Structure 1
Amino acid sequence: MGAVKTKRMPRAVREQQMLDAAVRIFGRRGYMAASMDEIAELAGVSKPLVYLYLNSKEDLFTACIRREAAALTDAVRTGVRPDLPADRQLWDGLQAFFAHTSEHPDAWSVLHLQARTHGERFAAEVASMREEIVAFVTRLIAVAARDAHGDPHLPEREVAGLAEALVGAAESLAAWANTTPGVTARQAAATLMNFAWSGLGALLDGQVWTPPTTSPTASPATSPGTEA
């Protein structure tokens, strides 16, 4: 009888195992400190096989960023029902965002910390993901404005700025929530909704804060033409 052949693992499955291991190591150790030896050991493969599949440490890190960015945006998109009111869509989207970042802290570390600090190539990958989420939030704000007033006269640039601010707040809050024991995804989402949506509601109702038109009055001084 011939020798029994061992069933080989499909390449796609093996590659995902490597990416799983790499995300864990990159997320916990950081890009510079992570070693290909450690990643290969955690994945249960040889280091040459990692290089064969993913070419280099830089390409492996890029593959991790792309996979985790796609997973996060898909989680947010899937968590939202477009037939619901804008505030409910934002609430569901925020809950999906915070739940995903909480359940995958190593992936969030890769996206939020590592990718942004180790070169333009990596930062550009994250920027693409962020643009998609900002576009989603921009649409929700525009829908909310339309639903509230029909013709709210909110400048496009202001809507874009509000979306950028909201996404930035969500990113910072996720980083804080992941390192603060006891903070749930629902609590984080509620915090941001109370902070952002309430403020947006006031804006849509015309309650706009206006900066002062003059600088604070300087200390009194001797009037011109007056002798001391």
Structure 2
Amino acid sequence: MGVGAGVSAGAGAVRAKRMPRAVRERQMLDAAVRTFGQRGYRAASMDDIAELAGVSKPLVYLYLNSKEDLFTAVIRREARALTEAIRAGVGPAGLPADRQLWNGLRAFFTHTARHPDGWSVLHLQARTHGEPFAAEIAALREEIVAFVTQLIAAAAREAHRDPDLPEREVAGLAEALVGAAESLADWAGATEGVTARQAAATLMNFAWAGLGDLMADRPWTPPEEEAGPAPAEPAAQTG
């Protein structure tokens, strides 16, 4: 009876250590984000990820098939978390466009500061290792640009300057704004003492002040081309 009780208790302990698949998979993805983010895709190994997750390497393969599939799963999870943070941070649709953008930028910089390894995966690692990873990031960026495009178009409507601001102009402004935010997130992460609020304020001062002039019908225009002869073509090199 004593032996049977001991065996039963031991089996219960084994069962107690078992985790739901979703929890175990999250542990593996957490370990993968940290490893990929800090070491890069090429240098990261499945052994490292398994050890950090506290599981065997065969279990990682069982759950996530391959290193490529694991990296793709990491990209998708981190991309979803970033877009959800931005959309949640923007606030209700009834807010003025500049307030929505301010809220969204603060949410973006807060998220990237809190998840530096995830941001490294999205902005650095996934972009530099070809397809299919680059396609995943292109889809993420396209979604964010579309969202910012909507905010800029809303600002134009609010200003009553040009509710039909040319689509190409709005798209270009959104691309520029998102690109600036990405670069600024890298700078803020590498610069000690820069807060998410400071990074967002920097971009608002840089970008929204200019957008404010545009909405007030004070756009910057390039200088007229100076009259005069066209520059000479460089002489062909002869060997």
Equivalent residue of 1:78, what SS? helix
Letter of the aligned partner of 1:25 in structure 2?
Answer: T
| Secondary structure at the counterpart of residue 100 of structure 1 | helix
Are 1:26 and 2:45 counterparts? no
For residues 40-51 of structure 1, the aligned pairs below 5 Å read: 40-51=50-61
* Offset, 1:204: 1.2
Asked whether the 8 Å contact 2:153–2:163 carries over to 1, the reply is no
CA distance in 1, matches of 2:163, 2:21: 53
1:24–1:106: 8 Å Cα contact kept in structure 2?
Answer: yes
Partner of 2:62: 52
Contact 1:77 1:93 in 2 (8 A): yes
Aligned to 2:89: 79
Is the Cα contact below 8 Å between 2:161 and 2:215 reproduced in 1? no
Query: TM-score, normalization: structure 1?
Result: 0.92
1:207 counterpart (218, 221, 229): 218
What is the alpha-carbon distance in structure 2 between the residues aligned to residue 30 and residue 126 of structure 1?
16
Offset from partner CA, 1:55-110 (integer Å, 9 cap, x none): 00000000000000000000000111122111100000000000000000000000
Alignment correspondent of 1:11: 21
Alpha-carbon offset, residue 127 of structure 1: 1.2
Cα–Cα, structure 1 residues 30 and 152, in superposed 2: closer, same or farther, change >3 Å?
Answer: same
Q: 1:68 aligns with which of 74, 78, 102?
A: 78
Tell me the alpha carbon deviations over residues 193-228 of structure 1, each in whole angstroms, 9 at most, x when there is no partner. 00110000111112122223324757xxxxxxxxxx
- From 154, 157, 165, give the equivalent of 1:146: 157
Q: Secondary structure at the match of 1:45?
A: coil
Q: Report the Cα distance in structure 1 between the residues aligned to 2:116 and 2:40, rounded to whole angstroms.
A: 13
| TM-score scaled by length of structure 2 | 0.88
Is contact 1:152-1:204 (8 Å) kept? no
CA RMSD of superposed structures (Å): 1.5
Deviation at 1:185, TM superposition (A): 0.2
Match of 1:120, SS state, is: coil
Contact 2:177 2:207 in 1 (8 A): yes
Give the number of aligned pairs. 219
* Alignment counterpart, residue 182 of structure 1, candidates 161, 172, 193: 193
Partner in structure 2 of residue 90 of structure 1: 101
1:103-160 CA distance string (max 9 Å, x none)? 0000000000000000120011111111111111101101100000163452111001
* Corresponding position of 1:225: none
Look up the equivalent residue of 2:146 and give its one-letter code. A
Q: Is the 8 A contact 1:87 1:197 kept in 2?
A: yes
| Residues 24 and 107 in structure 1, CA contact (< 8 A), matched pair in contact too | yes
Residue identity matched to 1:113 = L
Is 2:154 aligned against 1:156? Answer: no
CA contact (8 A) 2:161 2:217 kept: no
AA in 2 matched with 1:212: P
| Structure 1 residue ranges without an equivalent (≥5) | 219-228
> CA contact under 8 A between 1:177 and 1:188: conserved in structure 2?
yes
